[in-house]
């Protein structure tokens, strides 16, 4: 059995919130629990008792109501706390917020050296004035408020003001193209649109005036366009838009007062998030108020061990669900740390400078970022004082063994590294970290508490450890989406998640259990390879290719030829490094030795760039479509759609 990279005795394990929750349950329910594994088993045995105890332990603000905790047996019919009423913004602003209004709630840093700090008092004041302005504009329960904003404090205030009224929030990053934004927002008919005059990225100043001029006329239901000033000309941009007003202007006639809250049922729509696939129109996924609140409270409190006063950072944009996850740290009384811009400009250490100067306790990012740091030789452990940092979280794509080993060797050797995986579909995690369990290289530590997660074979039976299959969830959980916007009969929603195994959520991830009770994600199951009729995961190939410093990036696909499929690997070479026959031979040998002969590519070709979604995920399906001469739809989901040109006619 391999040795763990980290064990709970590397930190004050007795002080974790998960252990404290176990103690609470022992006293409340007469059980005997000491760690995450025992807690997970107990929650599986008594599903309702777990969620009921979580509500009480976290002190959820609202009326829980009488009656059962869960009604209904099927994934689509089950209801959690069906008689409860609550407000998401009330819990964000009042549950964890310290009584001292001067304590920090939000710290923002922009690539352009902009810096903003909001205390809890200032955050509540901003929300109050925006709430009054939105109410004056007629925003009420059931209305949609949309946003094209960078990761700035104003975005959080706008979301909270929206939620305080019982309205529904949806957002994208300002780097989305016109078509991509309209594909999403035109479906939703928003009543108000928040936007920004521009933003900074990789040393460039990007003006949004022209883009907004094309978008706003198509969103004719938006009675007001509220423009946030970032580049210094919000007033001018607003004047050129129908219904335009500046962020500060819309608040000018309102005096901050205590925020009022419209309490809604647990299943009231809070967020609409968008699928980031590259085929078909984006799906608008409608998420429940109570589902998001309970899942995020559980993950922040028990899995991430976030405590009042902690400083929580996640590198994200408003186009990725990790923004929604990050801002929920406010419910724990944490200070939320925001960043907007390139994480490598002007140099790779920029986020670690921020972490050192502000004393991050939690640093969240993507697996791609970690691998990029490794490849450029960044070693924060040697260059930065990170004494406050006790947790690093990674998601977006599988974190490979090389990533785990890099973090402990070059970032910090005593932190809890939590690889996590879930998605936009549930705005939370299926498999996640456990601060009471060891960390093993290449593995996610375990299933999220209160979720019945498993790996199933094609025939719908549980796969034993070490055998790959589909990641599934077999019982209802609070953040099952309400459905897809506009999917009146629910057919698209059922087909997306319940078609493969009726009644069981199938996430579309190719995964396996480990002997430690953990999980390994091998990539999207719809992108798995099938040479000779045997399914293999793409992550296994990436793990071998990333050992080569000559290769900066790669994508692997299955190429259909003569009724079979062959493995083809595309690589982006480091500057000055040619793809020679000798290197191709070494790569193939490493893959054969490290994985299996079936994983060895039939061909390896060099390309200029690899297509990725705006959240950093490799788009294997888009490459497959181009190589096979098929149209790639929804290219607006890609951060670099021009990269696809390099694959046309390549095979």
pLDDT over threshold 80, residue 368:
yes
Task: Supply the pLDDT for residue 11.
Answer: 58
pLDDT over threshold 90, residue 525:
no
Task: Supply the pLDDT for residue 276.
Answer: 63
pLDDT over threshold 60, residue 433:
yes
Q: Comparing 278 with 170, which gets the higher pLDDT?
A: 170
Average pLDDT across the chain, whole number: 94
% of the chain surpassing 90 pLDDT: 84
Task: Show the DSSP H helices in 526-630 as ranges.
Answer: 538-545, 581-594, 620-627
Tens digit of each residue's pLDDT (9 = 90 or more) over 290-337: 999 999 999 999 999 999 999 999 999 999 999 999 999 999 999 999
Name residues whose C-beta falls within 8 Å of residue 262's C-beta, 6 or more positions apart in sequence.
87, 141, 164, 165, 166
Q: Comparing 513 with 177, which gets the higher pLDDT?
A: 513
Which of 20-29, 43-52, 389-398, 559-568 comes out lowest in average pLDDT? Answer: 559-568
* Nearest alpha-carbon partner for 104 in 121, 124, 92, 119: 119
Task: Supply the pLDDT for residue 277.
Answer: 55
Task: Supply the pLDDT for residue 596.
Answer: 79
119-265 and 528-647 in the same fold: no
- CA triple 177-183-189, angle to 5 deg: 120
CA 321 to chain centre: 4
What number does CATH give the domain 119-265? 3.40.50.980
pLDDT over threshold 80, residue 99:
no
Task: Supply the pLDDT for residue 294.
Answer: 98
* Nearest alpha-carbon partner for 18 in 307, 287, 261, 231: 307
Task: Supply the pLDDT for residue 279.
Answer: 54
Task: Supply the pLDDT for residue 491.
Answer: 94
pLDDT over threshold 70, residue 631:
yes
pLDDT over threshold 80, residue 97:
no
* Nearest alpha-carbon partner for 568 in 545, 552, 549: 545
Name residues whose C-beta falls within 8 Å of residue 563's C-beta, 6 or more positions apart in sequence.
none
Q: Comparing 446 with 540, which gets the higher pLDDT?
A: 446
Contact 606, 573 (CB under 8 A): yes
Task: Supply the pLDDT for residue 314.
Answer: 98
* Nearest alpha-carbon partner for 352 in 411, 407, 294: 411
Domain ranges of the chain: 119-265, 528-647
Q: What is the mean pLDDT of residues 397-422?
A: 95
Inter-axis angle of helices 36-45 and 17-29, nearest 10: 40
Name residues whose C-beta falls within 8 Å of residue 569's C-beta, 6 or more positions apart in sequence.
541, 545, 554, 555, 556, 587, 601, 603, 604, 605
Q: What is the mean pLDDT of residues 155-174?
A: 97
Give the predicted TM-score (pTM) of the model. 0.91
Tens digit of each residue's pLDDT (9 = 90 or more) over 229-257: 999 999 999 999 999 999 999 999 999 99
Task: Supply the pLDDT for residue 378.
Answer: 97
Task: Supply the pLDDT for residue 535.
Answer: 76
Tens digit of each residue's pLDDT (9 = 90 or more) over 447-505: 999 999 999 999 999 999 999 999 999 999 999 999 999 999 999 999 999 999 999 99
Name residues whose C-beta falls within 8 Å of residue 380's C-beta, 6 or more positions apart in sequence.
349, 352, 355, 386, 410, 411, 412
Tens digit of each residue's pLDDT (9 = 90 or more) over 8-62: 886 545 579 999 999 999 999 999 999 999 999 999 999 999 999 999 999 999 9
pLDDT over threshold 80, residue 1:
no
Torsion of CA 198, 202, 204, 207, to 10 degrees: -20
Task: Supply the pLDDT for residue 645.
Answer: 94
What number does CATH give the domain 528-647? 3.30.300.30
pLDDT over threshold 90, residue 436:
yes
């Amino acid at each position: 059995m391999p040795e763990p990279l980290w064990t709970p005795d590397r930190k004050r394990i007795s002080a974790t919130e998960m252990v404290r929750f176990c103690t609470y349950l022992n006293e409340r329910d007469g059980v005997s629990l000491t760690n995450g594994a025992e807690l997970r088993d107990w929650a599986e045995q008594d599903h309702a008792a777990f969620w009921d105890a979580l509500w009480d332990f976290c002190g959820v603000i609202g009326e829980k109501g009488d009656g059962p905790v869960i009604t209904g047996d099927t994934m689509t019919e089950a209801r959690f706390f069906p008689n409860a009423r609550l407000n998401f913004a009330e819990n964000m602003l009042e549950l964890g917020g310290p009584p001292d209004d001067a304590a920090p709630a939000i710290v923002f840093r922009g690539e352009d050296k902009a810096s903003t700090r909001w205390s809890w008092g200032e955050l509540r004041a901003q929300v109050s004035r925006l709430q009054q302005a939105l109410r004056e504009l007629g925003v009420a329960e059931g209305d949609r408020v949309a946003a094209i904003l960078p990761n700035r404090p104003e975005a959080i205030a706008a979301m909270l003001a929206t939620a305080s009224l019982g309205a529904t929030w949806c957002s994208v990053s300002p780097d989305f193209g016109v078509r991509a934004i309209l594909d999403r927002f035109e479906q939703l008919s928003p009543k108000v649109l928040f936007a920004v005059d521009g933003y900074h990225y990789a040393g460039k100043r990007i003006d949004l005036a022209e883009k907004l001029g094309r978008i706003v006329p198509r969103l004719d239901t938006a009675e007001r366009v509220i423009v946030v000033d970032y580049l210094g000309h919000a007033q001018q941009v607003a004047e050129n838009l129908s219904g335009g007003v500046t962020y500060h202007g819309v608040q000018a006639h309102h005096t901050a007062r205590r925020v009022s809250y419209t309490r809604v049922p647990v299943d009231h729509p809070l967020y609409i998030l968008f699928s980031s696939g590259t085929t078909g129109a984006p799906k608008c996924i409608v998420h429940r108020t109570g589902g998001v609140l309970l899942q995020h409270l559980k993950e922040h409190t028990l899995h991430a061990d976030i405590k009042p006063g902690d400083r929580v950072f996640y590198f994200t944009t408003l186009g990725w669900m990790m923004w929604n996850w990050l801002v929920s740290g406010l419910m724990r009384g944490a200070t939320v740390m925001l960043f907007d811009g390139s994480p490598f400009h002007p140099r790779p250490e920029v986020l670690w400078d921020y972490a050192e100067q502000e004393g991050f306790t939690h640093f969240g990012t993507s697996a791609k970022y970690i691998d990029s740091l490794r490849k450029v030789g960044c070693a924060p452990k040697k260059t930065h004082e990170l004494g406050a940092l006790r947790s690093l979280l990674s998601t977006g794509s599988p974190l490979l063994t090389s990533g785990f080993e890099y973090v402990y060797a070059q970032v910090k050797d005593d932190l809890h590294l939590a690889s996590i995986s879930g998605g936009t579909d549930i705005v939370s995690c299926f498999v996640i970290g456990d601060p009471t369990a060891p960390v093993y290289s290449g593995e996610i530590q375990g299933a999220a508490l209160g979720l019945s997660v498993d790996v199933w074979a094609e025939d719908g039976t549980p796969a034993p450890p070490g055998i790959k299959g589909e990641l599934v969830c077999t019982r209802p959980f609070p953040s099952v989406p309400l459905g897809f916007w506009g999917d009146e009969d629910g057919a698209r929603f059922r087909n997306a998640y319940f078609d493969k195994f009726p009644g069981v959520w199938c996430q579309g991830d190719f995964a396996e259990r480990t002997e430690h009770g953990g999980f390994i994600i091998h990539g999207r199951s719809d992108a798995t390879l099938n040479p000779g009729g045997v399914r293999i995961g793409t992550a296994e190939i990436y793990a071998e290719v990333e050992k080569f410093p000559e290769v900066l990036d790669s994508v692997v696909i299955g190429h259909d030829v003569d009724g079979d499929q062959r493995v083809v690997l595309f690589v982006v070479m480091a500057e000055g490094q040619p793809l020679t026959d000798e290197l191709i031979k070494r790569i193939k040998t490493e893959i054969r030795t490290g994985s299996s002969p079936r994983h060895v590519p039939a061909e390896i070709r060099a390309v200029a760039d690899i297509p990725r979604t705006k959240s950093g995920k490799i788009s294997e399906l888009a490459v497959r479509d181009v190589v096979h001469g098929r149209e790639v739809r929804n290219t607006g989901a890609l951060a670099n759609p021009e990269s696809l040109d390099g694959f046309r006619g390549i095979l």
